[in-house]
């Protein structure tokens, strides 16, 4: 089958990760006291954006096509 969800999933994770990272940068000082000084939104935003980028990169390589 030609179903490949790496590109849509990668785009979704990349967009959500970027939004979360921007929120973490903008609201970092006011929210850092609630999580023991760690900017959780920024950290997880970067992690999600990296995972989304990896999925997009893997989807553009086109590996796994048989036939």
Average pLDDT of 25-32?
A: 74
Average pLDDT of 15-30?
A: 89
Q: Report the mean per-residue pLDDT for the chain.
A: 85
What was the pLDDT predicted at 67? 44
Which helix (DSSP H) or strand (DSSP E) does residue 56 occupy? helix 40-61
| Residue pair 50/23 in contact by the 8 Å Cβ criterion | no
Reported as a single tens digit per residue, the pLDDT across 37-64 is: 788 899 999 999 999 999 999 988 876 6
What was the pLDDT predicted at 12? 97
Residue 40 DSSP one-character state? H
What was the pLDDT predicted at 20? 94
């Amino acid at each position: 089958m030609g179903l490949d969800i790496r590109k849509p999933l990668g785009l979704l994770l990349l967009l959500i990760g970027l939004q979360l990272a921007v929120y973490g940068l903008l609201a970092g000082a006011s929210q850092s006291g609630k999580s023991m000084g760690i900017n959780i939104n920024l950290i997880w935003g970067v992690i999600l954006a990296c995972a989304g980028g990896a999925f997009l990169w893997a989807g553009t390589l086109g590996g796994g096509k048989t036939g």
